[in-house]
Amino acid sequence: MSILRRSIGTIAVAVLTLTLGSAAAHAQINTIKDGWLVMKIHSEFVDEDVLAGSNIDVDVKNGIVTLQGTVPSEAARARAIAAAKANDGVKGVTDQLRIAPAARDNGNMDRAGDKSANAAKKTGRAIDDGWIKSKIYAQYMSDWNTVLDDSNIDIDVTNNVVVLNGTVKSAAAKTKAVAIAKSTDGVKSVNDNLKIVAGAQ
C-alpha cells in the first residue's frame, strides 16, 4: 500500500511539474514583446533571396502582425507572410503587402562601396532600402536583452537614408540604436527622431 501511495505521489508530482512547465512556456510566449517581434520578423527577411527588392514595414500590436509595403512578386508575399507566422508569440498576420516591381539600382550601392557589395554577396540580397531596414532591426535584436529592451523603434529608409522614430528607455539605448544604424552597410546617413521614455514598450 505504501509503495502504491509513493507511486501515485510520484505521478502526481510529475504531472504537476509538466503542467507548471507548460504554463511557464505559455506565459513566456504571451510575454514576448511587440517591439522584439518586429525585430525578429525583420531578421527573418535579411537572407531571403526571394525578398530582394522588397520594402516591408512590420507592425505588431498585442501579437498581431501587420505587413505593409511592397514586394516584387506573389512568391515574395507568400514568403514574407510565412516567415512572420513562424515566430513564437505571433497570434495572427494581416497581409497588406502590395506587389510592385523592384526599384532599379540608382547607383546607391556602388557609392556605398565595396564593403556593401561584399555584404550583399554574403546575404544573397542586393543592398537596397528594404534590406537596410531589415538588417538594422536584425542587429538591434542582439542588444534587446541589454540596452534596447522596452524599445519601440520604427525605421524608415529612403535612398539609403535612415530615419529612426519611436521610443527608447534611456540615453544609452538611443545612442546604441543610432550607432548601429550608422554602421550598417549601405547607410548614407541617419536622422534620429527617437524619444527617451522610461518603460517605452
pLDDT tens digits, one per residue of 42-60: 999 999 999 999 999 999 9
DSSP per-residue string spanning 145-195:
TTTSTT-EEEEEEETTEEEEEEEESSHHHHHHHHHHHHHSTT--EEEE--E
Q: What is the domain partition of the chain in residue ranges?
A: 33-196
Reading the block at residue 154, the C-alpha cell is 520604427
Q: Could you report how far apart the first and last alpha carbons of the chain are, in Å?
A: 56
CATH architecture classification, 33-196:
3-Layer(aba) Sandwich (3.40)
Instruction: Give the pLDDT mean for 135-163.
Output: 90
Q: What is the pLDDT of residues 92-140, one digit of tens each?
A: 999 999 999 765 544 444 444 444 444 444 446 789 999 999 999 999 9
